[in-house]
Amino acid sequence: MKTDIARRNFMGKMAVLLGYAGLGPLQLSGQGRSRQAVAGAPDPKKPADYDKLIKLANNENPYGPPEGVLKAMNDAWKYGNRYAAPDGGIFDAIAEHHHVKPENVLIGCGSSEILKIVDDAFLPDHKLVVGVEPTYETVYRFATNSKAKAIAVPLTKTYDANMKEIIRVTKLNARDVGVVYICNPNNPTGRIVPKDEIKLLLDSIPGDIPVFIDEAYHHFVDDPNYEPSVKYVIEGRKVIIARTFSKIAALAGMRLGYAVAPKEIIDQLKPFVMSYNTNTIVKFGGVASLKDTANEAKIKQLNKQIRDRVTGELKGMGYEVIPSQSNFFMVNVKKDVTPVAEEFLKKGFVVGRKFPPMTEWLRVSVGTDEEMKGFMKVFKELFPAQPTAQTKAG
Ligand SMILES: Cc1ncc(COP(=O)(O)O)c(C=O)c1O
């Protein structure tokens, strides 16, 4: 893959200007993000193989949608022949959920469509998006497609967003910055941007630069230093929040996400939305899902319990794990993750993809208890316990 990335010191303070985000062996388009076939391994594109695979690569909810959501969707099939079918009240439900007006809400074919139309509206040719690296790389891919560029600020030594640097480069390039992208918590690290740093960002950069905060994994966070940012929309700041039903709500394949933003921004985004962009069935599912707070709490708790157990085991084996506030985590396997992911695939587990420059860090989505026991079994087969500092010294 041709790249004109000028990479600099990963942990340093320099921002990196990205032409193409560092594309690895996986193609990154929604339709093309498929794994290359691996000799001797199951092929995820074959339904029979797919069903048997343990899928720990896309940060999905492994339990599936709860009964009430399935019922709401099943009851909506009768509208499947219509464009202008009832929408189940999805705009009102989202608005109510966030204490905003329906005019502050735009729904998309997953939050991917929101990322795309933010790019269409705010990143024309030569504009800049400021974000971190690594982050959810789709944003940089869209920017590249529209001939905009990304200023990607390296993470700090603790794998956090370097907010001072984000602010510095945004101010320095203020005339050309179309949008600042903050993924909170960040994919792939699972790290949050604390509430005071979001405030610092908004208070420090020119007020006419939109700040796009992607809260796809918001529901999994329990760090008290985190806070959702819809309050800034209510304050009338130039902030766009993206949320999705693909993660905790378990509707990834049904495709529903949304933006919450001030009305003027929603009006700027609307012309770029694809006609009839979301299916009728999932709108009903989305409404039922927002109401089912008990299921959400259950999934959050299960995820935390299993994630903390598995990451504790990995750390106990001597591997470095980035403390995550999400439904995935990164473990440093100290070798290129592409062949590592292939080895996992041969054993029936889909894990990782490469997130340059963290090429030796494997991202693992948190599956069910049984799936993660299987993951640990394979991990122990592939990786020996690391000598601890004490045994090294001895
Ligand atoms: C941070 C982030 N934003 C957005 C998306 C897009 O999700 P969807 O289009 O399914 O809502 C993802 C998917 O993994 C993601 O990780």
> Which residue, of 292, 313, 329, is where some domain finishes?
292
Q: Cβ(9)–Cβ(162) under 8 Å? A: no
Tens of pLDDT along the chain (394 residues)?
A: 333 333 333 444 566 676 544 433 333 344 555 667 788 888 888 888 899 999 999 999 999 999 999 999 999 999 999 998 999 999 999 999 999 999 999 999 999 999 999 999 999 989 999 999 999 999 999 999 989 999 999 999 999 999 999 999 999 999 999 999 999 999 999 999 999 999 999 999 999 999 999 999 999 999 999 999 999 999 999 999 999 999 999 999 999 999 999 999 999 999 999 999 999 999 999 999 999 999 999 999 999 999 999 999 999 999 999 999 999 999 999 999 999 999 999 999 999 999 999 999 999 999 999 999 999 999 999 998 776 655 444 4
Residue 142 and residue 119 in contact, taking contact as beta carbons nearer than 8 Å: yes
Looking at the structure, do residues 267 and 298 belong to the same domain, yes or no? no
Is 368 found in the same domain as 277? no
In a domain, 44, yes or no: yes
* Residue in 135, 20, 55 with CA at minimum distance from that of residue 367: 55
Q: What is the distance in A from the centroid of ligand 1 to the CA of 311?
A: 23
Domain annotation covers residue 189: yes
**Is 9 a member of any domain?**
no
Same domain, 34 and 183: no
Q: Do residue 154 and residue 275 come from a single domain? A: yes
Q: How far is the CA of 83 from the centre of ligand 1 (A)?
A: 25
Q: Is residue 198 domain-shared with residue 125, that is, in the same domain?
A: yes
pLDDT of residue 45: 86
Best mutation site among 136, 189, 213 for ligand 1, i.e. most ligand atoms within 8 A of its Cβ? 136
Q: Flag whether 2 is in a domain.
A: no
| Residue in this structure with the two tokens 């290359």, named with its chain if needed | 36
- Shortest-distance atom of ligand 1 to CA 244: 11
Q: Is the CB of 365 under 6 A from ligand 1?
A: no
172 within some domain: yes
| Structural domain contains residue 205 | yes
Any atom of ligand 1 within 6 Å of the Cβ of 214:
yes
CATH of the domain at 346: 3.90.1150.10
Is 186 touching ligand 1 by the criterion CB < 6 Å? no
**Residue 254 within a domain:** yes
Same domain, 142 and 26: no
* Residues 190 and 319 placed together within one structural domain of the fold: no
Contact in structure between 89 and 236 (CB atoms under 8 Å): no
How is residue 277 written in tokens?
Answer: 């962009």
Name the domain count of the chain: 2
pLDDT of residue 29: 40
Which mutation among 61, 117, 187 tests ligand 1's pocket best, with the greatest number of atoms within 8 A of CB?
187
Structural domain for 364, as ranges: 17-64+294-393
Report the distance separating Cα 222 and Cα 14, nearest Å.
Answer: 31
Question: Do residues 317 and 349 share a domain?
Answer: yes
Question: Does 280 share its domain with 312?
Answer: no
Residue 319 shares a structural domain with residue 201: no
pLDDT of 34 reads 62
Is the distance from the beta carbon of residue 252 to the nearest atom of ligand 1 less than 6 Å? yes
Q: Report yes or no on 3 lying in a domain.
A: no
pLDDT attached to residue 385? 76
Which domain CATH number covers 73?
3.40.640.10
81 and 224 belong to one structural domain? yes
Burial letters for 62-71: b for 16+ Cβ neighbours within 10 Å, e otherwise?
A: beebbeebee
Sign of CA dihedral 70, 75, 81, 84: negative
Confidence at residue 14, expressed as pLDDT on a 0 to 100 scale: 60
Which tokens hold the place of 227? 């806070």
| Domain termination residue (choose one: 234, 257, 292) | 292
Which residue, of 243, 277, 292, is where some domain finishes? Answer: 292
Q: Judge if 288 and 298 occupy the same domain.
A: no
Q: Are strands 16-18 and 54-56 parallel, antiparallel or unpaired?
A: unpaired
Query: Which ligand 1 atom sits nearest the alpha carbon of residue 183?
Result: 1
